[in-house]
Chains A and B, each alone.
Chain A
Amino acid sequence: MNKAKRLCAIACLAVVATWLTTAQAQPSAAQTAIEAAKQYSGSTINVVWPAGVGALGQKVFAAPLFEQLTGVKVNIVEAPPTDVYIKVVAEHRAGTGGFDVVSLVPSWLTDLSIAGIIEPLDELVDKYGFAAELQGIEPAYRNNWMTHGGKIMAIPDDGDVLLLFYRKDLFNDPANKEAFKAKYGYELAVPTTWEQFSDIGWFFTNTYQPDLYGASVIHRSGLMQYFFQERFRNAGGRFFDVDSMDAQINDEIGVKVATQLQDEAEFMPPGSENWNPVEVLTAWLSGRVAMITWWPPPGRWSEGYGTDNEALKWVPESQIKGKVGYALSPGGNPELALGWSLAVSSNSRNKELAYLYIQWVNSEEISLQRVQLPYSLRDPFRASHFESAEYRSRWDNADEYLDVLRQGAQIGMLDLSIRNTFQYEEALARAMQRLMAGEDPQEVMNEAAANWDKVTRRTGVDKQRAAYEEWAAKPNAYPQ
């Protein structure tokens, strides 16, 4: 009996040892991709990427490394971020096969999938064993940005989320605290509602102008519409009435948000009605505003992380090192605005190789390096990025930064993504411009809603309803 038990124990140990050995020998997704891509040595793939400093992460780091490891040349084709979509669709339409890997903003996923411009990736994910590592992508990105019609169409590659950056030194200043409480009747603290944001903005502007103003946000470049999308939904707004598919952005909530956005410009720096991202960033880093809502990079640049790099010489030197706090946008659920995913072009003559490049570049191992490149403009999107001890030690309060980023990634809301999304965004962006020109919010939002209805009718109400229902059913479409 004892002998039998011993034999059984030995057999179990052998099984466990074999499993452990096999598991250890299991190559990572990055290794798998590299080994498989070696058979394509000498080939070239074309990757369309948003132009500018962010493309350096590909041109300087990823593409040369991939070529060194596999012999495959990766040609990075840059296009202005707003033109990537146009370029991708136009190339597809012309059937040139000009791009193998497509960069896309997740809100374009519906259009690109329906039009057959990007390729389903399920088979390749299974074939090259990427499924396990995909589970490491933060759920909000994985569950919302990756699939259309139940198929994997794109791999999330950038954890964009709108955050609030604020000046801790000003918020913690006892004189400010006392004066604020005396005036507004509550403690000066990080705003959790837009009403508080407005109070605090006015307070700092009245206290410090013209040296410092309460806040600044991006009003130009078509980006302001993301702030509207976020605030509208946090306030309880719904983009469409599902039955009629009539736009509801001009309802009471929409007009209230539009009015708030317009009024807030009053306590922002004079002329900021026209500011683009760089102007807001400049004001922030030079210490001329107390709060900004922006995408994640200013959190890093405020602490000077990587700004000594040649590629980031354009970033003004931070005057606010050690004075910056990070928080979720007031209102609760921040917008997972923009972001970038990667997909394989259905016109590619080298789909498998294109996929392998995506798997490699997006893998745990390589993506962790990429999100830490100061110039890649890729923000953390995997659990391992948020938990990385290396990243968390990059600057004094990097851990605080990563925690807030992760929190945002967990409860963030998606950009609207239906058919012809671009047209809805364009109409909303133009409405925001008119708001900043001081026009009547009700009138502006009425016209925007009319334009949305026009797009819906042109697209086909039933088709659009189906697309909207699929999008609205995603866990992060509206506040949970």
Chain B
Amino acid sequence: MKNGRLNRTLIRNNMKSSTGGGAGDRRFQYLALSPAIVLLLLIGAFPVIYNLVLSFQSQTMLDPDTSFAGLANYQELLSDNRFWGAISHTLIIAGFALPVQLVLGLLMAHLFVGELPGKRLFIALLILPVVIAPVVAGAAWRLFLDNSFGPVNAIISWFAGGPVKLLWTVDPTLVYPTIIIVEVWQHTPFVFLLSLAALLAVDRSQVEAAQIDGASGWTVFWWITLPAIMPVLGMVMLIRFIDIMRIFEMVLSLTEGGPGTRTETLSLYTYTTGFKDFSLSYTGAIAFVTIIMMSVVLWVILGRMERGR
């Protein structure tokens, strides 16, 4: 009896505090959260603020000029064709690679939903590309695609019945397909894994009920499976989009951003201005504009996802 009263009191207190009962409790909550908030601000906000300050100066690695330069870097950025080119190159890769990864990953996952002999082994083999470092993947593909020593051109030449010269990492018409192929090869397994997990979590009873009612495979997928896995697919799309917007090592080792700057991505250009040109303040401006643009895009996507739920 006494224990029961005590428990009820405790529960009441807990409920009171969890619903934010009094002003004193709220203060305590803020106080308890403050170390974490301060830490997050330090980790997240400080670099952004530092970048912002840097972008209003004219610092280079060779000349630590901290005087105020106004909007000079931003003005230069607006007319910097290489910067806008880098954004469009990155979006081209995202625009082609992302849908292909999603469709392929989902199709592959669909194949693995049922029972399959050697399923674990196949899954282990399929996810191998995703564990390879992008710089290694890029270098390996560069070798595969080498005109003189690579197996890809050798196979094509064999089918063509004579030597075929395809400069996959040099020819302007082939460089994008090459990057997209490698990107799809490397990251489709990631989409596959998460899609498989989502598919396995779909309520089988709903699927079976629809099938008993005579629904076709496509109808079941479109009206039951897809809505059920949509939250996961949405997150996968978001993660892959962010990843592709940061694409760097693979492109560096595959095409070095070339020919010229034709495949230079946003990250590659930022790296070049920061670590080759040493233009720190200008790089700060690029980084800040990138952060703003990405934040807006993410805000829109997350908003849509939230509304969709």
Please give the residue numbers on chain A whose beta carbons come within 8 Å of chain B beta carbons, in ascending order.
Answer: 86, 89-90, 93, 111, 114-115, 117, 210, 269-274, 279, 420, 422-423, 426, 430-431, 433-434, 436-439, 444, 447, 455, 458
- Interface on chain B toward A: helix, strand, loop, or mixed SS? loop
Q: Would A434 and B259 be within 8 Å (CB), given that A89-B61, A270-B165, A426-B272 are in contact? A: yes
A458 and B278 alpha carbons, distance in the complex (Å)? 12
Q: Would A426 and B277 be within 8 Å (CB), given that A90-B61, A271-B167, A274-B169 are in contact? A: yes
Q: Is the CB of A89 within 8 A of B278?
A: yes
Q: Which of A93, A279, A455 contacts B64 (CB 8 A)?
A: A93
Which A-chain residue is minimally distant from B255 (CB atoms)? A433
Q: Is the CB of A423 within 8 A of B276?
A: yes
Which A-chain residue is minimally distant from B168 (CB atoms)? A274
- What is the minimal beta-carbon distance from A288 to any residue of chain B, in angstroms? 10
Q: Is the CB of A430 within 8 A of B62?
A: no
Q: Mark B248-266, 1 if CB is under 8 A from A, else 0.
A: 0000000011111110000
Q: Is the CB of B172 within 8 A of A274?
A: no
Q: Is the CB of A431 within 8 A of B260?
A: yes
- What is the minimal beta-carbon distance from B72 to any residue of chain A, in angstroms? 10
| B261 cross-chain contacts in A, Cβ below 8 A | 430
| A279 cross-chain contacts in B, Cβ below 8 A | 148
A433 and B170 alpha carbons, distance in the complex (Å)? 8
Q: Would A437 and B277 be within 8 Å (CB), given that A93-B64, A270-B165, A271-B165 are in contact? A: no
Interface residues of B, count at CB 8 A? 28
Q: Is the CB of B165 within 8 A of A439?
A: no
| B257 cross-chain contacts in A, Cβ below 8 A | 430
A269 and B260 alpha carbons, distance in the complex (Å)? 22
- What is the minimal beta-carbon distance from B8 to any residue of chain A, in angstroms? 61
| A458 cross-chain contacts in B, Cβ below 8 A | 279
Q: Is the CB of A274 within 8 A of B167?
A: yes
Q: Does B47 contact A (CB under 8 A)?
A: no
A84 and B170 alpha carbons, distance in the complex (Å)? 27
Q: Would A439 and B172 be within 8 Å (CB), given that A271-B165, A422-B277, A444-B260 are in contact? A: yes
- What is the minimal beta-carbon distance from A267 to any residue of chain B, in angstroms? 14
Q: Name the residue among A114, A272, A430, A431 with the largest chain B CB count within 10 angstroms.
A: A430
> Could you name 29 residue pairs across A and B whose Cβ atoms are closer than 8 Å?
A86-B275, A86-B276, A90-B275, A93-B64, A114-B62, A115-B62, A117-B62, A210-B163, A271-B147, A271-B167, A272-B148, A274-B167, A274-B169, A279-B148, A420-B278, A422-B276, A422-B277, A422-B278, A430-B261, A431-B260, A433-B170, A433-B256, A436-B170, A437-B171, A437-B259, A437-B262, A438-B172, A439-B172, A439-B260
| B277 cross-chain contacts in A, Cβ below 8 A | 420, 422-423, 426, 455
Which A-chain residue is minimally distant from B256 (CB atoms)? A433
